[in-house]
Amino acid sequence: MAQIIADRRDVDFVLHEQMQVEDLSKHERFAEFNKKTVDMIVSEARNLAIKEILPTQELGDQEGCKFENGKVTVPESFHRAYKLFKEGEWVAMTEDTEWGGQGMPTTVALAANDYFVGANLAFMIYPGLTNGAGRLVETFGTDKQKETFLKKMCTGEWTGTMLLTEPEAGSDVGALTTSAVKNDDGTYSITGNKIFISGGEHDLAENIIHPVLARIEDAPAGTKGISLFLVPKIWVNDDGSLGESNDVVCTGIEEKMGIHGNSTCSLTLGGKGKCRGTLLGEENKGMRAMFQLMNEARLIVGHQGLSCASSAYMYAVNYARERIQGKDLLKIRDKSAPSVPIIRHPDVRRQLITMKVYVEGIRSLLYYVGLCEDKIKITEDPEEKAKYQGIIDVLIPIAKGYATDRAFEVCSHGIQVYGGYGYIKEYPMEQLLRDCRITMIYEGTNGIQAMDLLGRKLGINRGKPFMDLLGEMQKIIAAAKGVSGLENFATKVEEAVNKLGEVALHMGTTAMSLRVINAFAFAYPFMEVTGDVVMSWMLLWRATIAARKLEKGARKKDAAFYEGQIKSAEFFFYSVLPITLGKMRAILTTNGAAVEISDDSFGG
């Protein structure tokens, strides 16, 4: 079976032809990341992913994590892969070189992670969380905290997590009960229980650094009274050496549907009264710190979904080319006709092109968000920074919620292409489906993403970011109208964009009226149609580039790729967008059945 987890031609297309990432090297911050360097980074990531990380995917799923006497062991194969990952300095790709990072653009890091996460999502959660925890230290830490923890985390010598969830405080973080009491030496005694902690205990590193949300004595109720603390598994002395165990005890790990190779832990802090932490940032501003980094975390989860979908698509395409089954439909009555690869069957082709358009569209979306982040880092114009940040804010619920919904759908199509073989463990499809499912849940369920889009992002700065986003779409529509053969495509996307503007205005107005409950009952459909329109924008953008390359006489080996871009767009515009417009008409009714039905009427 071919071991292709991401289409290198498509990755290169998005990086260089669509996002033109090499333009970033014109700026001092990213000067060293020219096209040659970017290509080398992606090639090295691909080699490590396929040769060393991919073999751990099935093994890690079968072996899983083991818990005994408060200790957790990860699958044995993970140790070599993690050692090589650390040695390659891949843990903190976008972080400052001062702390052991590579300082690369977010867009390039996303391309590298196409391969790493596609090779083994469960494995990549360990360094992924470490990078996120390190970012908290870099952003909010004191000089002493940075000196003590940051380089160890950026190099992967120590790992990191995030301790938010409690038994009675899941999505409602403000209900947490973990407490913090200030000590005479300036540290805080931490007491509480946390659940669903990915990578909360394991044997990959000698120390685990836990950013912990807790409430200081007499702090305000709800999220306003939450603070953020840095709590190491093993206390770190002033000279940087490791001290005594810090009373952070794993009480068990979860048996899960997927990501078996990642330890999902229950942790007790201060069970013996000896858990200490240091304040990270300011008192009672822990949630503010978390929200500042929420965009990055949700982009990562969206990318996890994409990586599962990309692998599923690559496997499905190759399987469909090799699997011989049934006659060509046009020769069905010819008894002498040979059987053909299933890729020749219309319904299989329908499923494959459905998978193709979402994998490609989502990849473009995520890289675009990454590019916006990179542009914020290099521009000195405050208005331009604000514009890019606003667009990111609006797109993040789509990049997480919509993207992971569609990614799971892609994985499901992949199983269907394989038929019965897709449902058994001999092939990778069923694991990809199981692993992908968590991406729709953590870092805020997709229902919460929809509420975030409607309740927070749509009305930011009186709707300017949403209008800026529509404006970016209009630029591509205008460009497509100038390309022979794409005029009709552009008209269809323009109709959808204009209708989305109407729906957004209706939803924003309804959400501020007495029918607010009705509006939020349609928050999820609103996220879906917004995602569909974003996909149409990305696919039209791709098709415009491809058509221009074909007009100029693309090389023979590239022509099929470019033609495929145009057909992907055509399929989406004729098969998906009409359904999207129907959903928009339904949203405009804001029918109240879902909220008006009585609790008893649900039965049971």
Cα–Cα distance for residue pair 304/121, rounded to 1 Å: 7
The set of long-range contacts for 548-555, using a CB threshold of 8 Å and a minimum separation of 24, is 548/483, 549/17, 551/483, 551/484
Residue 242 phi, psi dihedral angles, 5° rounding: -85, 135
Angle, CA of 214, 215 and 216, to the nearest 5°: 120
572 neighbors 357 (Cβ within 8 angstroms): yes
Q: Tell me which DSSP letter residue 19 carries.
A: S
412 neighbors 311 (Cβ within 8 angstroms): no
Tokens of 163: 């301790």
Cα–Cα distance for residue pair 266/401, rounded to 1 Å: 26
The one catalytic residue in 443, 494, 528, 570 is 443
CB proximity list for 364: less than 8 A, separation 6 or greater: 14, 18, 538, 539, 541, 542
Cα–Cα distance for residue pair 81/53, rounded to 1 Å: 6
67 neighbors 253 (Cβ within 8 angstroms): yes
Q: Helix 577-589 to helix 556-575 angle, to the nearest 10 degrees?
A: 30
246 neighbors 233 (Cβ within 8 angstroms): yes
Residue 443 annotated as catalytic: yes
**What DSSP string runs through 552-595?**
T---HHHHHHHHHHHHHHHHHHHHTHHHHHHHHHHHHHT--HHH
List residues with catalytic annotation.
Answer: 443
